[in-house]
Amino acid sequence: MKHLVLGLVATLMMTAAHAEPTATGDLGLVIERAKGSVLLVDQSDRAALARIEGLGDLSHASLVYSPDQRFAYVFGRDGGLTKVDIVTRQIANRVVQSGNAIGGAISDDGTLVAVSNYEPGGVRVFDTDTLDLVADIPTGSKTIGLVDAPGRRFVFTMWDSGETWIADFTAGKPEITKITDMGKNPYDALITANGRTYITGLFGEDGLTALDLWADSPEPIRVLPGYGRGQEEMPVYKMPHLEGWALTGREFVLPAVGHHEILWIDADTLVETGRTQTHGQPVFAMARPDGRQVWVNFAHPLNDTIQVIDSVSKKVIHEFKPGPAVLHMEFTARGHEVWISVRDANKVMIYDTQSFEKLREIDADGPSGIFFTARAHRTGL
């Protein structure tokens, strides 16, 4: 709290004097979901700078950054799309664009922001300057796994119909390519950092489905078809998340559904190369930016624990309990630190990823997602 108060005082002084330009390259935002606010944090100072309030229902909220790392577009569960100016530390604009949203993406050129919606199901695309509606793409289904792809494209998948659509905005009006038969009940998807491979996890059947977006006509590629929740259904207490932090050397790492393990697949052939048993049902399995380590958190009731896996040996090399309800992890751009939100401790905890030493705790109100501005320059984040 001391840091926050000092930060707030510093903010007031700074904004009053307009003395210093604000560099945003090492800043970040932490979602405080129950409070409907975001906490602006400084990665280098390991400190909270300001709290920006009035963003609505932020359960399961996420955000993306403008290419200049000044604006964050925050996607709230209540359908709110809020543009936050992290230089002035104010809400720049806000629209409620649907009844029930799940996430979003920003186009590679930074001009379009897309939101995927559960209700009414589909994707809506907005101008990043004005938040005016540019395109409405109803899908007739809860829509998940929305990502940006190179070439002013968005890719997203339908929970109910098992289709993936590619919306190409090169010509202004979206041109939609529909890929059917992706599998039953896809729950989330990711795109690799090079923008080539789109992978969707399946809840309703075994395995995952990939698309090669470099192909002229991408076709569904079954990954681990004999694997998943199995014939005997495993209860899943929290859907895993698939995020673009998946590449470790030559393999992708993915959380299993229901099973207490993470899966390794060859990045070129998409063939399984191994499994690592874990403490619980994984929620996030996130590769450190260099790919050398994978950090895993778990579903309720084992969500007080993190395991760190070495991506060469595929063995757990470290396990610790940051505290109750570890919801999210975010690495610094080069991976030297990881910031971890521990919701029920009301803390963001910062660890050195080499020594695993805790470096600092920052007070936050029920923190969930942590997003550093370095994401602005990565496809799929």
Partner 1 sequence: MASLAHIQLGLRSAAPAGGSGWAGRAFLTTAVLVATSAFAADALDPNALKRLVHQDCGSCHGLSLKGGLGPDLRAETLDHYDAEVLTGVILDGIPDTAMPPWRPLISPEEAEWIARYLLEPEAQ
In the complex, the residues that contact partner 1 under the rule CB under 8 A are 33-34, 57-60, 77-78, 99-100, 102, 118-119, 142, 144, 159, 185, 187, 203, 227, 230, 232-239, 259-261, 275, 277, 279-280, 300-302, 304-305, 325, 343-344
Give the nearer residue to partner 1 in terms of CB position, either 47 or 316.
Answer: 316
Least distance from C-beta 61 to partner 1, angstroms? 10
Least distance from C-beta 243 to partner 1, angstroms? 16
Give the nearer residue to partner 1 in terms of CB position, either 48 or 102.
Answer: 102
Least distance from C-beta 301 to partner 1, angstroms? 6
Give the nearer residue to partner 1 in terms of CB position, either 232 or 268.
Answer: 232
Neighbours of 200 (CB within 10 A): 26
User: Measured between alpha carbons, how far is residue 206 from residues 147, 163, 191, 219, 276 in Å?
Assistant: 23, 16, 20, 18, 18
Burial class (CB in 10 A: 0-12, 13-18, 19+), 334: exposed
Least distance from C-beta 344 to partner 1, angstroms? 8
Least distance from C-beta 235 to partner 1, angstroms? 3
Give the nearer residue to partner 1 in terms of CB position, either 36 or 244.
Answer: 36
Encoded amino acid at 233, one letter:
E
Give the nearer residue to partner 1 in terms of CB position, either 46 or 238.
Answer: 238
**DSSP letter for each residue of 167-184:** EE-TTSS-EEEEE----S
Any alpha helices (H) in the chain, and if so which ranges?
2-17
Q: Rounded to an integer, what is the distance from CA 270 to the centroid of its chain?
A: 22
Angle at CA 41, nearest 5°, toward 36 and 45? 160
Encoded amino acid at 334, one letter:
R
Give the nearer residue to partner 1 in terms of CB position, either 21 or 226.
Answer: 226
The span from the CA of 32 to the CA of 366, in Å, is: 6
Q: Rounded to an integer, what is the distance from CA 242 to the centroid of its chain?
A: 8
**Phi (first) and psi of residue 256, to 5 degrees:** -75, 160
Least distance from C-beta 35 to partner 1, angstroms? 11
Buried-state track 220-255, b at ≥16 Cβ within 10 A, e below 16: bbbbbeebbbeeeeeeeeebbbbbbbbbbeebbbbb
Give the nearer residue to partner 1 in terms of CB position, either 185 or 194.
Answer: 185
Least distance from C-beta 300 to partner 1, angstroms? 5
The span from the CA of 358 to the CA of 334, in Å, is: 18
Asked if 338 and 358 touch (Cβ cutoff 8 Å), the reply is no
Give the nearer residue to partner 1 in terms of CB position, either 111 or 185.
Answer: 185
**Phi (first) and psi of residue 375, to 5 degrees:** -60, -25
Least distance from C-beta 258 to partner 1, angstroms? 9
